[in-house]
Structure 1
Amino acid sequence: MEGLFINIDFPNTLSSGYIEGIVRGYRNDLLTGSQYMNLTQSDTLEDLKLQLSATGYGNFLANVPSPLATSVIQEKAFGKLVDDFRYVRAQATEPLAKFMDFITHGYMIDNVALLITGTVHDRDREEMLARVHPLGWFESLPAISVATDIASLYDMILIDSPLAPYFKDNLSAEELDDLNIEVIRNKLYKAYLQEFYKFSQTLPSPTNEIMARLLEFEADRRTINISINSIGTQLTREARFSLFPEFGSLYPSAADVLSRAEDVEQIKFGIDTSGSPTVDSSLLDGSSNKSLEDHFYQKEMELCKAAFTQQFTYSTVWAWIKTREQEIRNITWIAECIAQNQKDRVNNYIAVF
């Protein structure tokens, strides 16, 4: 019943119902099955550009000179998503504004890890800045290249950023190297997901219920990926377990099994014992042409599709962002297959709806 009040205007602000209407309008602009078919039948990237111009993307490639590159298509498509997101965020009031800010924090964490890794490997600073996700930009981000350890990273750069609360219990005196960077990234993401989950449960129904499913899936996905990527590394059982988000269908019993796993079979056993409604061990069989990441993307799209069946919920914003990101991955995949003349693989994208 609480969801019925989502359309009530806050003082001197636009209603959340108005924003939900905008987001559902954006959702209706997602590529249809027939439009995907037209894209896959393109012979050149110029043909692809023409087909995209007849969709919700419009003339987003109009000022791009020839020859067209896949990277440019991806960049411009992301640019349109960012513009749409920022427009919605500009209309949002609390608590939707805070909800949307939480969405950006995940991209900020990835940007921090990207720039630290680039700094460690002496990569060009401007080149690395060009690769950061626009939704994860914050003012002090370019200064990360001066950090030499975790403490200086926090004290000099991140203390005034939106990520500061997630560093609270994740500081150490260790030098920045590839392993430590990945550990810190996963610790930050764990803290972020837990805070986002806690906040989402304060929102009115059905937002809290839908976001619980979406974020629990994200927690399970990260737990499984961490378990797989930890095999053969120096991470102890305790260190691995400390990276797992402390919620989701795998936590705590299955997570304990996964933290001890030394091969994929043991990971599959841990998943089977969890009785998880969102993930199962068949994802790790390798019996199909899809990677584990593709299986996760497919499941994520199913959950996002279900989120759109509900009315009066902020979760449509999350679902819209995730589906648009998958759509951009699909467009990039199709463009790359065309550019590399591998049309036999052009249909191996993840269906959005």
Structure 2
Amino acid sequence: MCSYVEGIVRGYRNGLLTNANYSNMTQCETIDDLKLQLGPAYGDFLASLPPNPSTSSLAAKATEKLVAEFRYVRANATGTLAKFMDYLTYGYMIDNVALLITGTLHERDTRELLDRCHPLGWFETMPVLCVATNIEELYNSVLIETPLAPFFKGSLSHQDLDELNIEIVRNTLYKNYLEDFHNFVNTHAELSGTPTAEVMSEILEFEADRRAINITLNSFGTELSKQDRNKLYPSFGRLYPEGTLMLSRADDFEGVRLAVDGIHDYKTFFDAAGLGGGPSGPGNMAGGSGSEGRSLEDMFYQKEMEISKEAFTRQFTFAIVYSWVKLREQEIRNITWIAECIAQNQKERIGNYISVF
């Protein structure tokens, strides 16, 4: 990794909001006050916003800053680092394609959906998908025109792209993507045995485990069979293979708890989250709420932040690019959460953001 790119990314990391910034933000009474607090960090990106903007427009501008910085780094990346950064974009591409598939299923004008797609998951031929008039045409376009083709081949057919299976499609693509990314960092001649392979293996194993756990929890009460559920788990991670086998057989929350019991971090999360409850903060996905108001997913995000921060203690590793993106994404979720609490006058919940620095 060239020293210039590493310096740029470390500079971006040093520009992340601190605990002191968050403390000031939670004291704000209006969105305009929040804009002022964000001014030093986000500057020109917020200048075009109207007075008291919506939380969604505030989040969109914060995302614009991340995208602009990412594209600057990518423009200066060459060789293996360039390919590594391309891998970072594939997850966003999967979400974007899933959104376009959903739009086609509902016979919506997919051109409108392009505006809702994440900019980091944009690819040159994405507008081509919008000329598809049915699922088969869309499927063929995805296979031919997008970087996601390898993740479709051999595991998905156009018959799979129906409304009932859209989440299965998304999770199958993510499984294939994570396995390919993990293989890339561990077998590429320039990366194998390096700090990049070591740090990224930990990051990707955590992501694989988190997805396996969430897929299992979200499958309860649905028509997804245990056999089909098992096909969605990535074939690596700290839970693999014994833990994922137990996940595939789980019938309830307690079954999931038993499956993760051998991994200290995950066991701690489950013990703290307990049963029942709902989302409590800017993590807001699966899992119950614990005594401190943290959902299981909040604790997964907190762990992701810890791993991402640790990556910056290493030198000459591509992992800092990945980690910086994840840290900034959490920062955007935190800003959005605080803004929503202000807008909805829910000040008692405003402190439920996920600490970054």
CA 1:343–1:49 in structure 2 vs 1: closer, same or farther (change >3 Å)? Answer: same
Partner residue of 1:348? 352
Deviation at residue 124 of structure 1 after TM alignment: 4.4
Counterpart residue number, 2:290: 287
CA distance in structure 1 between the aligned counterparts of 2:4 and 2:273, rounded to whole angstroms: 42
Displacement of 1:207 in angstroms is: 0.9
Residue equivalent to 1:210: 199
Q: How far apart in 1 are the matches of 2:178 and 2:341?
A: 35
Task: Check whether the contact 1:220–1:279 (CA below 8 A) recurs between aligned residues.
Answer: no
User: Which residue is 1:53 aligned to?
Assistant: 39
Matched-pair contact (CA < 8 Å) for 1:154–1:164: no
Match of 2:208 in 1: 219
CA distance in 2, matches of 1:283, 1:173: 42
What is the Cα deviation at residue 252 of structure 1? 1.1
Secondary structure of 1:235 counterpart: coil
Residues 174-213 of structure 1 show CA distances to partners (whole Å, capped at 9, x for unaligned) of 2533331111111110110011001111315211110010
Tell me if structure 2 keeps the 8 A contact 1:207–1:315: yes
Q: Is the 8 A contact 2:302 2:354 kept in 1?
A: yes
| Structure 1 CA distance for aligned equivalents of residues 88 and 160 of structure 2 | 29
> Of the candidates 124, 142, 146, which is equivalent to residue 161 of structure 1?
146
Question: Residue 161 of structure 2 contacts residue 169 of structure 2 at CA under 8 Å; is this kept in 1?
Answer: no
Which residue of structure 2 aligns with residue 81 of structure 1?
66
TM-score (structure 2 length as normaliser)? 0.89
Matches within 5 A, 1:32-43: 32-43=18-29
In structure 2, relative to structure 1, the CA distance for the partners of 1:142 and 1:282 (3 Å cut) is farther
Aligned equivalents of 2:327, 2:345: Cα separation in 1: 27
Structure 1 pair 60–80 and aligned structure 2 pair: CA distance change class (3 A): same
Letter matched to residue 212 of structure 1: S
Q: Aligned equivalents of 1:63 and 1:45: distance in 2?
A: 14
Per-residue Cα deviation, 1:38-80 (whole angstroms, up to 9, x for no partner): 11111111111111112x2123211222241111110000001
Measure the CA separation in 2 of the matches of 1:179 and 1:327. Answer: 33
Find the partner of 2:222 among 233, 255, 261: 233
Contact kept? 1:283, 1:295, Cα under 8 Å = no
Q: Structure 1 vs Structure 2: percent identity of aligned residues?
A: 57
Task: Give 1:160 deviation, angstroms.
Answer: 2.5
C-alpha contact 1:227 1:240 (8 A) present in aligned 2: yes
CA 1:320–1:173: 2 relative to 1, 3 Å: closer
Query: Is residue 22 from structure 1 mapped to residue 22 from structure 2 by the alignment?
Result: no
The alignment's C-alpha RMSD in Å is 1.7
Query: Paired residue for 1:248?
Result: 237
Q: Which runs of 4+ in 1 moved over 6 A?
A: none
Q: Distance in 2 between matches of 1:192 and 1:256?
A: 21
**Preserved contact between residue 196 and residue 317 of structure 2 (Cα < 8 Å):** yes
- Asked if the contact 2:129/2:142 (under 8 Å) is kept, the reply is yes
TM-score of the superposition, structure 1-length normalised?
Answer: 0.90
Deviation at 1:278, TM superposition (A): 4.4
Match status 1:299 vs 2:303 = yes
Matching of residue 171 in structure 1 with residue 156 in structure 2: yes
Residue deviations 1:292-316 (CA, integer Å, cap 9, x gap): 2211111100111111111111100
Letter in 2 for 1:304: S
Alpha-carbon distance in 1 for matches of 2:153, 2:166: 16
**2:182 maps to amino acid:** Y
Residues 173 and 315 of structure 1: CA distance in aligned 2, closer, same or farther (over 3 Å): closer
Q: Where does the alignment leave 5 or more consecutive residues of structure 1 unmatched? A: 1-5, 7-15
| Residues 268, 284 of structure 1: 8 Å contact kept | no
Give the secondary structure class of the aligned counterpart of 1:245: coil
Give SS of 2:177's match. helix
Shift of 1:326: 0.1
Give the letter aligned to residue 222 of structure 1: R
- Between the two proteins, the alignment pairs up a number of residues equal to 335
For 1:227 and 1:147, the matched residues in 2 are separated by 34
Which amino acid is 1:21 matched to? G
CA distance in 2, matches of 1:147, 1:270: 44
SS at match of 1:341: coil
